[in-house]
Amino acid sequence: MTNEKTISTTPPQAGGAPQAKAANPRQWLHGRLRQLLAEDGELNPTENLMYYGLDSLRLMTLAAELNARGIPVRTEELSRSPTLADWEALLDARQADA
């Protein structure tokens, strides 16, 4: 018996199309992280997401999905400070630049 978690590399559909922009990027991020990390409850916004089981593959998947939604981020930016609070600030900054 293993404790491995299954990760989906298929982004959740927003508005019927994978590339569609999420109406609320923060809400999408919260939901997608809970999905990637198999967490049912709320995530502590200041907790390092690596403690929840975030790994490099999930990080790259998340960066690719954000880019597909029109929010330009690099995996390195996400890995530099892997907390929900910092990622929300990054999303806000990118949304303001758009």
Percent of the chain residues past pLDDT 90, beyond the cut: 67
Spell out the domain ranges in the chain: 45-97
pLDDT band at 79 (very low <50, low <70, confident <90, very high): very high
Q: What is the pLDDT of residue 23?
A: 65
The pair phi, psi for residue 48, each rounded to 5°, is -65, 125
Which has more confidence, 38 or 96? 38
pLDDT band at 3 (very low <50, low <70, confident <90, very high): very low
Place of tokens 């990054």: 90
**Three-class SS state of 83:** strand
**How far is it, in rounded angstroms, from Cα 28 to Cα 18?**
12
β-sheet bridge partners, residue 83: 48
Which has more confidence, 44 or 14? 44
